[in-house]
Structure 1
Amino acid sequence: MKIWIKRLALLVLALILAGLAVCAYIMHSAKDSVPVLNYHQINDRDENALTVHTDQFEAQMKYLADNGYHTITPEEMIAAWDNGTALPDKPVIITFDDGYADNYRCAFPILQKYNLRGTIFLISDFIGTYPNYLTWAQVDEMQESGLIDFESHTLSHEQLDSTSPEETWNQLDGSKKALEWHLHKEVNFLAYPCGSYDEELQQMVKKAGYKGAFTVNFGLADKGENHYILDRVPIFGCTNHTLMRFKMRMNYAPIFAPLARLHKDMYESGHTFIARFIPTP
């Protein structure tokens, strides 16, 4: 009996060591990848999966500043990859989708406080139109600060893999031209509305003149990845955005991202019981 217990203990230990070795290999393989953080709303009013409270957001930004992270833009990331130049140590991209008014009221002052740069993907027809979205004056002020870059989230947030080719082109090309006219700069990147895309859409994005496009797929942006389906680290999906959860999702994305995909696949295929046991921060 004692022999079997020893053998079982050795087997468990071997499995643990093998798991740690696999995790170490995965983390080492991703050492040159870039975490692209994905936010939406930053406020203390809403209690939904897209909102991070202001104090939680500030704690996350303070963590980045205190731990030597360097904020870059999508343009700088792609340029470094294409030209073979080095990125700064511990690069990170902070992105916000949609262009909510609280990005100006709540997020922008915190980014200023810690001298961190961000990128906001704008729904161009919504700017200056709806009260919950940014105004062009706010956009101009943030752009002039040198801390905020603006890119495209289409004209009106249509799910582009289900629209007609004519409407898809209108959303891509129209938003790019409208933003370039307002911002007086090139707009080279897109965030897919609802994170939805297919092969045909990727080709249209490229044809419209964009250099890359971002999904909401959990993972790090990697040089070897298709530039038109770049992964991000979603900082949403629950109403409890603790600093520990933030650290785990950002620092260990190469490990947790495959588990998150497995959890989603299990859940969508009806295997909810199994999905409960898959760790996904």
Structure 2
Amino acid sequence: MTVKNIILGLITLLSTSLGYSEQQANENTINNSAVILLYHHVADDTPAITSVSPQQFEQQLDYLQANDFKVWPLPQLMTHYRQGLSIPDKVVAITFDDAYESVYSQAYPRLKQRGMPFTIFVTTDSVDKQFNKQLNWQALLEMSRNGATIANHTVNHPHMLYRFEGENDKQWQQRMQQEIDGAQQRIAEQIGSQHKLFAYPYGEHNQSLKEQLAQMGYLAFGQQSGALGPYSHAQSIPRYPIAGDYSKLDDFILKIHTKAMPAIELSSSATPLSAKQSKPTVTLEFKQAIHKPFFQCYGPGGKLPLQWQANTVTITAAVDIPAGRSRYNCTLPAGDNRYYWYSKPWVRLKDDGTWILD
């Protein structure tokens, strides 16, 4: 049984046993949520963990079209978010990390046929060198003239939290700025666009990077699950990765109907976590009344312990989280078989203090 099924089953059971109705949930529903989808490969012959098949991708686009979803360009959605403008229900944005060949050969024709805009976050050195089945600038320019936004995914696709041996804070920040500025300049040279939109490689980020990108004027996107909402951090915007086991249609439908958790993150353990920081915590403050028994979180080890104090909750790991990347996922019924969703990503070092690098 998947974590998703466990979450939904327990929520349904608890809701029924305590008499919690969808009408009650609707009274607390927060508007102005939108879902941003994240893809990498659209192919049958690429790593499953980052791929959807062309057939699955077409099926997902067909579902959006048949069920009156509105696919917005990411810059338009971000303008509404930044200015606090109303976002209608059932709005999604489609993004791709890395300019893989299948984006052009498989995704682009299907999106163009339906008039659906999309964004490609580009690692510029990989495009320049045609590394690992990356597209060339000519193909990216063609797509940019037909509904695509080309945006920043660094020059070299580094693990941004990783420090070189002996590298101090200032040197690390300068290196990160070079990664971002260099990619932005190259995109401007080749495409002519200047969108201040940035996607973290591997989704890895921390408070220092968020502050740096804010100072540089960027909105920044992770790979943690959840919907965009008024309380989303402008430099840690969630996106739903659609790939592998999470590319099945029922899972896709669940995600595109979710809403942003009506809470802000007050504090969290600093990431990357050392080997000794094995049970990180995050504290959320809810900005509207909720039914606390229905807020559930899962992560390594299953259901996560919660500590409530008034309208704030502190979430802690049930067991030591593994080295590498992991996350906490939290849900809350929102009525009409929909859910609020929040995800917190972590990066933890190995026991010997070294990194797991892909």
How high is the TM-score relative to the length of structure 1? 0.81
Q: Is the 8 A contact 2:124 2:186 kept in 1?
A: yes
Q: 3-state DSSP class of the match of 1:106?
A: helix
Q: Does 1:220 find its partner at 2:227?
A: yes
Question: What's the CA shift string for 1:65-120, capped at 9, x where partnerless?
Answer: 11111111232122123334333552111011011111000100110122211111
Question: What's the CA shift string for 1:184-215, capped at 9, x where partnerless?
Answer: 121211011111111111121122332x1011
- How much has 1:180 moved relative to structure 2? 1.6
Aligned to 1:250: 256
Q: Does 1:156 find its partner at 2:156?
A: yes
Runs of 5+ in structure 1 lacking a partner? 1-11, 271-277
* AA at the equivalent of 2:135: L
Q: 3-state DSSP class of the match of 2:251?
A: helix
Distance verdict in 2 for CA 1:239–1:85, change over 3 Å: closer
Distance verdict in 2 for CA 1:196–1:17, change over 3 Å: same
User: In structure 2, what is the Cα distance between the partners aligned to 1:201 and 1:61?
Assistant: 34
Q: 3-state DSSP class of the match of 2:247?
A: coil
Q: Does 1:269 find its partner at 2:340?
A: no
Aligned to 1:180: 188
Aligned to 1:71: 71
Q: Does 1:133 find its partner at 2:138?
A: no
Distance verdict in 2 for CA 1:171–1:21, change over 3 Å: farther
User: In structure 2, what is the Cα distance between the partners aligned to 1:27 and 1:151?
Assistant: 38
Runs of 5+ in structure 2 lacking a partner? 1-11, 164-171, 262-294, 305-316, 323-329, 332-340, 342-358
User: In structure 1, what is the Cα distance between the partners aligned to 2:105 and 2:27?
Assistant: 36
The alignment's C-alpha RMSD in Å is: 3.1
Counting matched residue pairs gives: 259
Q: Is the 8 A contact 1:37 1:234 kept in 2?
A: yes
User: In structure 2, what is the Cα distance between the partners aligned to 1:209 and 1:172?
Assistant: 12
How high is the TM-score relative to the length of structure 2? 0.65
- How much has 1:240 moved relative to structure 2? 6.4
Distance verdict in 2 for CA 1:74–1:14, change over 3 Å: closer
Q: Percent identity?
A: 22
Q: Which structure: greater helix fraction? A: 1
Q: Which structure: greater strand fraction? A: 2
Q: 3-state DSSP class of the match of 2:240?
A: strand
Q: 3-state DSSP class of the match of 2:179?
A: helix
Aligned to 2:198: 190
Q: Is the 8 A contact 2:39 2:242 kept in 1?
A: yes
Q: Is the 8 A contact 2:74 2:94 kept in 1?
A: no
Aligned to 1:56: 56
Aligned to 2:46: 46
* AA at the equivalent of 1:140: L
Aligned to 1:275: none
- How much has 1:17 moved relative to structure 2? 4.8
Distance verdict in 2 for CA 1:27–1:175, change over 3 Å: farther
Answer with 226-235 or 75-84: which moved more: 75-84
Q: 3-state DSSP class of the match of 2:92?
A: strand
